[in-house]
Amino acid sequence: MSGNKILDVREIDKRFRIKIILNLFDDLNDGQKLELISDHSLAPLSKLFQIEKEGFFNWSDLENGPEIWRISIKKTEALNLTINDILKQYPLAIDILEEKGIPYYQLGDMKLSDVNKEAQSIYKEIKSSKQLIVNPLRTDRWSISFTIDYIENNHHTFVKQQIPELGNLIDHLVVAHAATHPQLPMIRERFSEFKVELEDHLKDEENIVFPSYKKLEIALRKGGLKDINDFDDAIDWMEEDHILTGSSLRVLRNFCNNYVAPKESSPGFKILYKELKKFEYDMHFHMHLENNILFAKVVTALKSIRSR
């Protein structure tokens, strides 16, 4: 494919090599290759790519010394990337995936091309959209304990604050507008049921599941944990709960006309729908962090312990 690039790193100051290589790789189109020529092994660069560009490249050794090392790095994107791969590189892709109705929080391990037939155009839109200069969520580097603390302090705290506020707003609107908007009592009923489900789920996570995951991480470092089979069941249990949560959110959205308030409705009505939509999006990301990040770390830890 035309557009392939060749770089002799021997001609570049060592201080700037990594930055130049990464920039050249980023400028490649999907399927193009960057060939590097060096007078030493490029194995450390391979490890860096595994961290920074996982899912975005294929590495091929062309020549392995003793005087010359040559490698080829092929860019592999649109049709080969899982949803998790895309989110690691483009955190703001969440907004686009939400707009396209793609449940990224449940399908993270699947290729975007297997989830949506318009994968190439969606990925092109993601790449051309505004991006963060610094990715604040370097989740690959998070420990199990840090991931749990982040979820609890950020998302659990948000849920516990928003649930009563949303409930009070719904109650107020039912009293004021139920006569002209008969869907409001149904929204209140569904939200009340969802509130109970969600609060029970958070309690299970905070009191049972998350503490056990932290013990697992300690055992990974120090040993001493023998019975680990229950962890598999806990992951399945949580994932099933998340499926129910996602279903409940979709039902609530349907009752709320996809969060599009009636034209003649009061400002309070519009605020409610706006806040419910924000709450739903936060719940989706909340589930993404658990399904696709935390549980993956736990599975990796279990494999490590079992291989001992």
Cα separation, 293 vs 119, in Å, equals 22
pLDDT of residue 50: 86
* Residue 205: DSSP 8-state: I
What per-residue confidence (pLDDT) applies to 161?
Answer: 96
Residue-level pLDDT at 229:
67
State the pLDDT at residue 282: 95
pLDDT digits (tens, 9 = 90+) for 79-107: 677 898 888 878 889 999 999 999 999 99
* Location of structure tokens 């998350």: 210
Distance CA 43, CA 297 (A): 25
| Amino acid 236: pLDDT | 86
| Phi (first) and psi of residue 117, to 5 degrees | -70, -15
Instruction: Tokens for 172, please give them.
Output: 């107020």
Angle made by CA atoms 176, 177, 179, in degrees to the nearest 5 = 115
Distance CA 39, CA 49 (A): 19
Q: In 214-231, which positions are buried (b, 16+ CB within 10 angstroms) versus exposed (e)?
A: eebbeebeeeebeeeeeb
Give the per-residue pLDDT at 1.
Answer: 47
**Burial grade of 32 (CB within 10 A; 0-12, 13-18, 19 or more):** middle
Rg, C-alpha atoms of the chain: 24
Q: What is the pLDDT of residues 101-120, one digit of tens each?
A: 999 999 999 988 898 888 88
Contacts with 285 (C-beta within 8 Å, 6 or more apart), sequence order:
94, 105, 155
Q: Are 125 and 98 in contact (CB under 8 A)?
A: no
Domains by residue range for the chain, with CATH: 5-75 (3.30.110.40), 83-128 (no CATH), 139-306 (no CATH)
Q: Would you call 134 helix, strand, or coil by DSSP? A: coil
pTM equals 0.76
In the chain, which residues have pLDDT < 50?
A: 1
Residue 56 confidence (pLDDT): 78
Question: Cβ contacts of residue 24 below 8 Å, gap of 6+?
Answer: 5, 7, 34
List Cβ neighbours of 287 (8 Å cut-off, separation of 6 or more): 105, 106, 242, 245, 246
